Structure 1
Amino acid sequence: MDFGLSEEQLQLKDSARSFLSGECATTVVRKIMASDDGYPRDLYAQIAKLGWNGLIIPERYGGAGLGMLDMAMLLEEAGYAAMPGPFLFSSVLAASALINSKSDELKAKWLPAIAEGKAVGTVAIVEGAGSVDPADIWTLASKEGEGWLLNGSKMLAPYANVADFIIVAARAGTGSHDLRLFLIETRDNGVKTRLLKNLDMTRRVSVVEMNCATAVMLEDSTTSFAHLLDVASVAIAADSLGGTERALEMAVDYSKVREQFGKPIGSFQALKHAAAEIVADLEPARSLLWYAAYALDSGAANASRFAAMAKARLSEVYSRASDRAVLMHGGIGFTWEHDMHLWFKRARFNESYFGSPAYHRERVASLGGY
């Protein structure tokens, strides 16, 4: 049995690496970081032409109808390039929530627009506690005629400042502890967004304030939030895999040219050990990610457990690898002028976004019956 990637998946990965190396070099990333809204419209116009936005969107809505394993190949390369912008949050998370919803009307309205690059979506989950645990989410959805009204505040909603719609996790009714997913449009008078300053400038986050915001429920089931959590876990893990590869590559390349005592620093045993430790973490995590994405696509019974494993493991691997890579660069690794900090800061975002490694390890244990 072949456990590797298909020829088409390898071609997708290679083409993404080639495109991003030319169109999303670190000079471009820094320029976008310095912009007001962090949204690289020219870059995303090219991405739309490549069909990336509709990769997992069904064909009847203008997408390619592929799965999370295919998307993981793109996200790995996006992480390798530290690609800024709302791609992961719009074309993966928001699109996945819509695909799994019961509303044909919402699908018809937003999925083709996402696939064509004409609309941007995002998700708003965490609140003051900064946790994805349902017990820490208090935004309330109240029934109003045939629709719903949302009241509450969300923190760290990626690219809500440029989004056309937001997928919000909220409690459906007073006294309810079960979360449902709702869609709100940012043009609604009851929706206000405020851009925040954050460590990772390749990603912009906002506060979302909802005061009687008109909303549509995606599905009257708690499984919709659980599925979104699984998709986000695999997506962040894929981005982390690519970022780890880039951090390792940069550190090794630097150690080959930087000299001390008349020889390259890469010849010193301590530097060799640091690089070897990154590789030892990286390679087993790669197969874990591939299986987690495959399990989501195939509807495997253990899909949620492996998604949690992938998120916990890859985000920690990324943080450790970027730490070591900064140290391998010596003093220059701590400077703004060197690009290493782009991946160091991205690793910190990935580690906390949609649940910490500790949260997901607890989830692994719970799903395993412990």
Structure 2
Amino acid sequence: MFGTFTEDQEQLRGVVRNFLADKSPESEVRRLMETEEGYDPAVWTQMGREAGLQGIAIPEQYGGQGAGWTELGIVLEEAGRALLCAPYFATVVLAATTLLESGDEEAKQQYLPAIADGSLIATVALTEEGGRWDAEGVTLPATPTPDGWMLTGAKHFVLDGTTAKLIIVPAVTASGISLFAVDADAAGVTRRPSITLDRTRKLAVVEFDATPARLLGTEGGGWRVLQRVLDFAAVGLAAEQAGGAQAALDQSTEYLKTRVQFGQPIGAFQALKHMAADVLVEVESARSAAYYALEAASQDNDELPAAASLAKAYCSEAFVTAAHQNIQFHGGMGFTWEVAAHLFYKRARSSEVFLGDAFAHREALAQRIGV
């Protein structure tokens, strides 16, 4: 039954929450967001080799923990609560899932153990200048060579594109969209960090100039793989958004209880009670949508595509609502740099459009359920 967790899963949540409370407090988030790398390499290594977080959903045969999407969703939810600054989503959710779905056994054997132990950072470079998350948005060409393949073109909005050592690139061949593995240090690769609203997520423009690439899976089979990857990723992002929304609500309620006006906490005023109750309903509903989608992802059943779009659409708007109201509850000081409210609002806005906005996912949901 979705929304209920085993004792082991609750223990996992407690371990991850305690780990992130120690390694990702607000002070550390603020420090890392100002760095070019955007993460702490020592903590990243500890996450992989000691906590096993990178390999949690990677099968044991590839060096992982062999758990599933429910456990990964728990980690992502807690990461969202803590605004974790690390290439976790790019590496674990996007790249590892793409490798697993690619059907390329050699690539899985080569890359997944390194992802699981934290020694490899990876990402997927899907979007181009138009920022589209559909097949029509993929136009970068791949050219066959005597030694393999060659890529020339650019990808935009690449998550953790400046730190990843493995870049998985969808490109167009004579057979259609195909997937390619590119070593970030290969000839012709240029990476430039992008200036973004949310400094806790590092995006980049990655350019390829006659760059050698290795085909992943079958030529022309890339979009079939990416459709599944994007559904799984939408589920993972929804879980992260639900965690962020809960953190914003927690900040709001704490301030409502401690800020005194006219001799009483401002949370005692009826208008603010109503506003807080509305946010609570949104956050609880978002969590339910995320858990429902995680259940579908764990079982990999026919409900996954619709559940993924439903969860991404709802959780995107719920996170924005919770983060916006958090600023409003704090009043004038809510807009200041010193208060953490703006960090969650910026993360909410960046997550809202990442992997497609709520409107796009409602459209997808309508098509998937035949409306």
TM-score range, shorter chain: over 0.9
Distance 2:88 2:231 in 1: 17
1:47: Cα distance to partner? 0.9
Distance 2:2 2:230 in 1: 29
> Would you say the 8 A contact 2:101–2:229 is kept in 1?
no
Query: RMSD over aligned Cα, in angstroms?
Result: 1.5
Per-residue CA deviations over 1:157-178 (Å, capped at 9, x if unaligned) read 11111111111222223xx6x5
User: TM-score, normalization: structure 1?
Assistant: 0.95
Per-residue CA deviations over 1:300-347 (Å, capped at 9, x if unaligned) read 112111111111110111011101111011111101111111111100
Provide the residue aligned with 1:234 in structure 2. Answer: 235
Distance 1:182 1:231 in 2: 20
Distance 1:189 1:147 in 2: 14
Provide the residue aligned with 2:180 in structure 1. Answer: 182
Distance 1:201 1:54 in 2: 26
Provide the residue aligned with 1:253 in structure 2. Answer: 254
Provide the residue aligned with 2:45 in structure 1. Answer: 45
Per-residue CA deviations over 1:179-234 (Å, capped at 9, x if unaligned) read 33322110111211111121111111110101222222323323201011112101
The change in CA–CA distance for 1:2 and 1:355 in structure 2 (over 3 A counts) is: closer
Provide the residue aligned with 2:216 in structure 1. Answer: 218
Provide the residue aligned with 1:283 in structure 2. Answer: 284
Distance 1:180 1:274 in 2: 48
Q: How does 1:79-228 map to 2 (within 5 A)?
A: 79-145=80-146, 147-173=148-174, 178-220=176-218, 221=221, 222-228=223-229
User: TM-score, normalization: structure 2?
Assistant: 0.95
> Would you say the 8 A contact 1:180–1:225 is kept in 2?
no
Provide the residue aligned with 2:363 in structure 1. Answer: 362
Distance 1:198 1:113 in 2: 29
The change in CA–CA distance for 1:314 and 1:258 in structure 2 (over 3 A counts) is: same
The change in CA–CA distance for 1:102 and 1:2 in structure 2 (over 3 A counts) is: closer
- Stretches of structure 2 lacking an aligned partner (at least 5 in a row): none
Q: How does 1:47-86 map to 2 (within 5 A)?
A: 47-48=47-48, 49-86=50-87
Between 1:1-10 and 1:316-325, the stretch displaced more is: 1-10
The change in CA–CA distance for 1:3 and 1:351 in structure 2 (over 3 A counts) is: closer
> Would you say the 8 A contact 2:45–2:119 is kept in 1?
no
Letter in 2 for 1:214: P
Provide the residue aligned with 1:14 in structure 2. Answer: 14
Distance 1:246 1:213 in 2: 43
Letter in 2 for 1:142: T
Aligned with 2:102: secondary structure? coil
1:146: Cα distance to partner? 6.2
Aligned with 2:162: secondary structure? coil
**Identity over aligned pairs, percent:** 38
Provide the residue aligned with 1:353 in structure 2. Answer: 354
1:3: Cα distance to partner? 5.5
**Equivalent residues, number:** 367
Per-residue CA deviations over 1:278-299 (Å, capped at 9, x if unaligned) read 1111212222211212212212
The change in CA–CA distance for 1:181 and 1:270 in structure 2 (over 3 A counts) is: farther
Letter in 2 for 1:157: V
Letter in 1 for 2:177: L
Between 1:222-231 and 1:279-288, the stretch displaced more is: 279-288
Distance 2:257 2:126 in 1: 44
The change in CA–CA distance for 1:2 and 1:101 in structure 2 (over 3 A counts) is: closer
> Would you say the 8 A contact 2:125–2:156 is kept in 1?
yes
The answer to whether the aligner puts 1:23 opposite 2:23 as a matched pair is: yes
Distance 2:355 2:332 in 1: 32
Distance 2:95 2:362 in 1: 25
Provide the residue aligned with 1:33 in structure 2. Answer: 33
1:2: Cα distance to partner? 7.6
Aligned with 1:167: secondary structure? strand
Distance 1:294 1:170 in 2: 32
Between 1:246-255 and 1:121-130, the stretch displaced more is: 121-130
Provide the residue aligned with 1:267 in structure 2. Answer: 268
